[in-house]
Amino acid sequence: MPFEITKSFSFDAAHQLGANVAPGHRYATVHGHSFEAELAFAGTPDPATGWIRDFDEINALVATLRATLDHSYLNDVPGLERPTLERLCQWLWERVKPQMPELVRVSVRRGSCREGCSYTGPDARA
């Protein structure tokens, strides 16, 4: 695809990964992060509008996602019972892709940890 646009948004949330780690591991207790998510959309701009996707539409969807995630305990969000970076990317993908088929990548970063993950959908793994 010749063009790619992105939309970033941030949210602050708490989680714990006790099911993934041994007792005493630093991730076993409840802790929080400032997360930065990025949605990437690719395609050929519509000849009439010049856009791949209207940013107002993207912003409206992002607002609903952010309202669910921001200042929440991620383990309590349906589908995020094990809220790893990988699962956060997939969770976002599953909520955006059906509404916006131009989505090609979801990235989530924890800037203070200098860690991140990107997901390009289930078809990319084949």
Known binding-site residues for Zn(2+) equal 15, 31, 33
The domains located in the chain, with CATH, are: 3-119 (3.30.479.10)
pTM (two decimals):
0.90
The predicted-structure confidence for 58-98, as pLDDT tens digits, reads as follows 999 999 999 999 999 999 999 999 999 999 999 999 999 99
Residues making up the binding site: 15, 31, 33
* Token digits of residue 122: 């289930």
Number of Cβ within a 10 Å radius of residue 18: 15
The tokens describing 5, both together, are 């646009």
